[in-house]
C-alpha cells in the first residue's frame, strides 16, 4: 500500500530524501472517491516519474453548497486499493487545519475566466479551487502535476495559476476517461439513482451530436435534464446539467 503522510513537514522530509537520490516526482491532486479516471492520471505519473505522490483532501472552500460538501463520497479503503494498484508511492492526506493554518484569511482569486460558466453558477468555487491547488503545488514540489481534461475550465485556470505565480511544476493534461456508454467518469456519478444513471449518458450524446449549443440545450431539457449552460469555447463544447441533486459537467472537442 502507498505510504500515507498527513503533515507538510512529514512530506517535505520524505521529498528531501527523494531529491537527494535524484528521483523525479509526479503529483496527482484528488479529493478521493477515486475511479478509473483517477487511475489513468496515476498511471501517467508512474510512466513519467520515479516517485508518484497523490493528495487526498476534500477541500471545503471549493464547495458552494454545504450540503454538497457533506455528501461528497468518502471511500478511503477503496481509494487506497486503487492507488496501490495504479502505482502510487505516497499519499498526502492532511486535515483541514493542516491546509488552512490561517483559516480562510488568504485566498487566490482570478478575475476573468473564473467569472463565467462554472464560476457563474458556483460562486466562490474557483477561488477555493485555486487556493488549494496553489498550496498543494507548493507543498508537492513536483516536476510534473497531472490533471484531467474533463474539468476543462479548471484546467485553464490551473495552467494560468502556474504561469502567474512562477510555479516550475509542469502541468500535464490527460484525456477524459468515459464509461462504455459515453458518460464521463466522475466521483459524483455514485450519487445517481439507477434511473438517473440510465439517463446520464444522453448528456454527452447531446454535446457531441447537436448542431448548436442551443439545440443541445433543447434536447437535454426535453430529455429531463436541468441545464445550467451549454456553450462553445475555444474549440470545445462545454456543458453542465443537473439530475435532481446531482450536477454533471462535461466537454467535447468541436
pLDDT score for 217: 98
Would you call 216 exposed, middle or buried from its count of C-beta atoms within 10 A (0-12, 13-18, 19+)? buried
Alpha carbons within 13 angstroms on the beta-carbon side of residue 206 total 28
- Write down the mean pLDDT value for the chain: 96
pLDDT score for 65: 81
Q: Known catalytic residue: 121?
A: no
| Rg, Å, the chain Cα set | 18
Taking only the tens place, the pLDDT of each residue in 92-149 is 999 999 999 999 999 999 999 999 999 999 999 999 999 999 999 999 999 999 999 9
N- to C-terminal Cα distance for the chain?
A: 41
Q: How confident is the model at residue 66 (pLDDT cuts 50, 70, 90)?
A: confident
- Per-residue pLDDT at 55 exceeds 90: yes
pLDDT score for 68: 83
pLDDT score for 72: 87
Taking only the tens place, the pLDDT of each residue in 16-31 is 999 999 999 999 999 9
pLDDT score for 180: 97
Spell out the SS3 assignment of the chain: CCEEECCHHHHHHHHHHHHHCCCCEEEEEECCCCCHHHHHHHHHHHHHCCEEEEEECCCHHHCCCHHHHHCCCCCHHHHHHHHHHHCCCEEECCCHHHHCCCCCCCCCCCCCHHHCCHHHHCCCHHHHHHHHHHHHHHHHCCCEEEEECCCHHHHHHHHHHHHHCCCCCEEEEECCCECCCCCECCHHHHHCCHHHHHHCHHHHHHHHHCCCHHHHHHHHHHHCCEEEEEEEECCEEEEEEEECCEEEEEEEEC
d(Cα 234, Cα 117) in Å, to the nearest integer? 13
Q: Rounded to two decimals, what is the model's pTM?
A: 0.95
Which CATH architecture does the domain made up of 3-174 adopt? 3-Layer(aba) Sandwich (3.40)
Torsion angle of C-alpha atoms 89, 138, 37, 175, degrees rounded to 10: -120
pLDDT score for 155: 97
- Per-residue pLDDT at 70 exceeds 90: no
Report strand pairing: 236-243 vs 246-253: antiparallel
pLDDT score for 67: 79
Q: Which residue has the cell 475555444?
A: 234
pLDDT score for 136: 98
Dihedral sign from CA coordinates of 251, 192, 57, 175: negative
pLDDT score for 168: 98
Taking only the tens place, the pLDDT of each residue in 162-215 is 999 999 999 999 999 999 999 999 999 989 999 999 999 999 999 999 999 999
pLDDT score for 197: 97
Would you list the domain boundaries of the chain? 3-174, 187-253
Q: How confident is the model at residue 10 (pLDDT cuts 50, 70, 90)?
A: very high
| 121 within 8 A of 228, measured Cβ to Cβ | yes
Does the domain made of 187-253 have the CATH classification 3.30.1300.10? yes
| 94 within 8 A of 6, measured Cβ to Cβ | yes
Catalytic site residue from 18, 38, 71, 121:
38
d(Cα 139, Cα 101) in Å, to the nearest integer? 14
Amino acid at each position: 500500500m502507498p505510504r500515507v503522510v498527513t503533515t507538510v513537514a512529514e512530506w517535505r522530509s520524505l521529498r528531501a530524501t527523494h531529491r537527494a537520490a535524484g528521483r523525479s516526482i509526479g503529483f496527482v491532486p484528488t479529493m478521493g472517491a477515486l475511479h478509473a479516471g483517477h487511475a489513468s492520471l496515476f498511471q501517467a505519473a508512474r510512466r513519467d516519474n520515479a516517485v508518484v505522490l497523490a493528495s487526498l483532501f476534500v477541500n471545503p472552500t471549493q464547495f458552494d453548497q454545504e450540503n454538497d460538501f457533506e455528501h461528497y463520497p468518502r471511500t478511503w479503503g477503496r481509494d487506497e486499493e486503487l492507488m496501490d494498484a495504479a502505482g502510487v508511492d505516497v499519499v498526502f492526506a492532511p486535515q483541514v487545519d493542516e491546509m488552512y493554518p490561517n483559516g480562510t484569511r488568504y485566498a487566490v482569486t482570478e478575475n476573468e475566466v473564473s467569472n463565467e460558466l462554472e464560476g457563474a453558477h458556483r460562486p466562490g468555487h474557483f477561488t477555493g479551487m485555486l487556493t488549494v491547488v496553489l498550496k498543494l503545488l507548493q507543498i508537492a514540489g513536483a516536476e510534473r502535476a497531472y490533471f484531467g481534461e474533463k474539468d476543462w475550465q479548471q484546467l485553464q485556470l490551473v495552467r494560468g495559476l502556474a504561469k502567474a505565480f512562477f510555479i516550475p511544476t509542469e502541468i500535464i493534461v490527460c484525456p477524459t476517461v468515459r464509461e462504455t456508454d459515453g458518460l464521463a467518469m466522475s466521483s459524483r456519478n455514485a450519487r445517481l439513482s439507477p434511473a438517473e444513471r440510465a439517463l446520464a449518458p444522453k448528456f454527452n450524446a447531446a454535446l457531441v451530436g447537436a448542431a448548436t449549443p442551443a439545440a443541445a440545450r433543447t434536447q437535454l431539457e426535453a430529455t429531463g435534464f436541468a441545464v445550467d449552460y451549454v456553450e462553445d469555447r475555444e474549440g470545445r463544447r462545454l456543458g453542465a446539467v443537473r439530475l435532481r441533486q446531482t450536477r454533471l459537467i462535461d466537454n467535447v472537442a468541436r
